[in-house]
Amino acid sequence: MTQLADKKILLGITGSISAYKAADWVRALRKEGGTVTVVMTESATKFISPLTMAALSGNRVYHHMFKDDEPEKIPHINLAREHDLNLIAPATAQTIGRLAHGLTDDLLSAIILASSAPTVVCPAMNSKMYLHPATQTNIATLKTYGYHLVDPDNGTMACGEEGPGRLTEWPVARQTILKVLAKQDLAGESILITAGPTREPFDPVRFLSNRSSGKMGYALAEAASQRGARVTLVSGPTTLPAPAGVELIAITSAQQMHREVMARVGEMSVVIKAAAVSDYRPASTYDHKVKKGQPSLQFELIANPDILKELGQDKKNSGCVTPLLVGFAAESQNHLEEGSRKLREKNLDMIVINDIGGANTGFEVDTNRVTMIDRNNGREELPLLSKEETAHRILDRLLQLMEGKR
Ligand code: C5P
């Protein structure tokens, strides 16, 4: 289960050609344990049938202001009270205009006006309509009311025109929803996270590296940002998109990572080192591509700076309690003993240990199974979870440690 588990979402669907995409969003929300009630504008019912949405949501679909069968109930007031979040997707220029002006001539806009739950709006319309000053002014007005707007994508529209106006993709909307729903328990914290592998070149085209995908570090950055922290992500090369709202510092080598971390550590309350930093680098590099032909090649490797150890040493020497230092230990044998040794040797507050020998844990996969050990010998073993859930559990534990420090 994820952060969406047990959340009650009211999904407002309005009359855009992309209304059919909302069907998949309902399935995605339910798959993560959310409950979905769909409210449609009358024009939305022309694009996708209420029956489809009822079947997919497992709930009655509302699209009339007045219910003939239960006249004593006022649907817009009841529906406005019952939800943790309102999601309007797709949101047409018409619905955005209604909301911006407080007009309530249909059920959906009446519910939103009467609701005190946060509202996420995902506009979708022809790009000229989207870029029109009237729509842009209405969107700006919604932002001043505290609505959360998710920008539409650029591309070719159903009408054949190019430009901004395509309904955003689900993963982007999902991130906004998670951020809006998340408890802001890391607000005020500045967290530096490192992620991914480093690359240690020996000629212009080749390098020494490792299998790290960066997924665990990026999941931590995403989760910490959702929970209100100011996050700086110092990342080696990965194929992952930069998490929204996170400052991304792209580096390649361990020495570059060392420089970027050291330049920023003074402003941080927490440093989480999830990167798989290369312990060694070639002692010298060739200016040109090394030609094949020799029966063997010998390289001398020299040690890279151990960034985390240096941070732990600096902390010990200064006697400061911050930043809180969290390390990772990817081990293929004696993982708990090795992790505990690193916790002490590097003067860490917490270490997250993963046994990379297990199935579906460690490098490249989307799941992980970790054990956390803290400086007070507190120990917590997590089951096999998605890296997203693992990230939240690590942050929960970190918060407990921070509470102990205050
Ligand atoms: O000692 P080992 O490299 O296994 O420790 C792993 C932890 O130390 C990770 O948190 C990793 O990011 C960090 N590390 C580092 N600098 C290095 C090597 C590892 O900060 N050169």
**CATH assignment at residue 80:** 3.40.50.1950
Q: CA nearest 390: which of 231, 266, 242, 219?
A: 219
136-193: per-residue pLDDT in tens?
999 999 999 999 999 999 988 887 888 999 999 999 999 999 999 999 999 999 999 9
User: Has residue 50 got a pLDDT over 90?
Assistant: yes
What pLDDT shows up at residue 58? 98
In sequence order, what DSSP letters do the residues of 139-182 get, joined into one string?
HHHHHHTT-EE-PPEEEE-TTS-EEEEEPPPHHHHHHHHHHHHS
Which residues are within 8 A (CB) of 71 and not within 5 positions of it... i.e. 6 or more apart? none
Q: Could you tell me the residue range of the domain that residue 369 belongs to?
A: 190-285+297-405
Q: Could you tell me the pLDDT band of residue 83, with boundaries at 50, 70 and 90?
A: very high
Q: Residue 69's pLDDT is what?
A: 63
SS3 content of the chain, % helix, strand, coil (to 5): 35, 25, 40
Same domain, 225 and 320: yes
Ligand 1 probe mutation, 257, 261, 281, 308, most atoms within 8 A of CB = 308
- 162 plus 304 within the same structural domain: no
Tell me: do 243 and 269 sit in the same domain.
Answer: yes
Ligand 1 within 6 A of CB of 331 = no
* CA of 193 relative to ligand 1 center, distance in Å: 13
Which of 181, 199, 226 is the last residue in one of the domains?
181
DSSP string, 284-312: S--SSPPPS-SS-----EEEPP-HHHHHH
Residue-level pLDDT at 400: 95
Measured in angstroms, how far is the CA atom of residue 346 from the centroid of ligand 1?
Answer: 9
How many domains is the chain built from? 2
Domain limit, last residue, from 163, 181, 199 = 181
Which residues are designated catalytic?
A: 159
User: What is the band of 312 on the pLDDT scale with cuts at 50, 70, 90?
Assistant: very high
What is the dihedral angle through the alpha carbons of 54, 55, 56, 60, rounded to the nearest 10 degrees? 20
Q: What is the pLDDT of residue 362?
A: 74
> Rounded to an integer, what is the distance from CA 342 to the centroid of its chain?
29
With bands split at pLDDT 50, 70 and 90, how would you rate the model's confidence at 76?
confident
Residue 226 sits in the same domain as residue 151: no
The torsion angles phi and psi of 50, rounded to 5 degrees, stand at -55, -30
Average pLDDT, the chain: 94
- Of the pLDDT bands very low, low, confident and very high (cuts 50, 70, 90), residue 2 is confident
322: amino acid identity, one letter: T
pLDDT digits (tens, 9 = 90+) for 382-392: 999 999 999 99
Span from the CA of 4 to the centroid of ligand 1 (angstroms):
33
The pLDDT tens digits of the residues spanning 88-98 come to 999 999 999 99
Minimum CA distance residue for ligand 1 atom 2? 329
How is residue 243 annotated by DSSP?
P
Same domain flag for 204 and 72: no
86 closest CA partner among 111, 103, 66: 111
Question: Which of 172, 288, 191 has the alpha carbon at shortest distance from 241?
Answer: 172
Atom of ligand 1 nearest to the CA of 279: 21
**pLDDT computed for residue 259 by the predictor:** 98
Last residue of a domain, one of 122, 155, 181: 181
The answer to whether the CB of 84 falls within 8 A of the CB of 37 is: no
Which residue's alpha carbon is nearest to atom 17 within ligand 1?
A: 306
> For residue 242, what is the domain's CATH number?
3.40.50.10300
> Is the CB of 217 within 6 Å of ligand 1?
no
The response to whether residue 277 sits with its C-beta less than 6 Å from ligand 1 reads yes
Band (pLDDT 50/70/90 cuts) for residue 68 is low
Domain co-membership, 58 together with 113: yes
Task: State in Å: Cα 203 to ligand 1 middle.
Answer: 25
Find out whether the beta carbon of 197 lies less than 6 Å from any atom of ligand 1: no
> pLDDT tens digit string along 339-387?
999 999 999 999 999 878 777 777 878 999 999 999 999 999 999 999 9
How many angstroms is it from 176 CA to the middle of ligand 1?
32
Nearest-CA residue for ligand 1 atom 9 is: 328
Q: Both 177 and 196 in a single domain?
A: no
**Does residue 25 belong to any structural domain of this protein?**
yes
Kindly state whether residues 260 and 165 are assigned to the same domain: no
For a ligand 1 pocket test, name from 264, 307, 336, 363 the mutation site with the most ligand atoms within 8 angstroms of its C-beta: 307
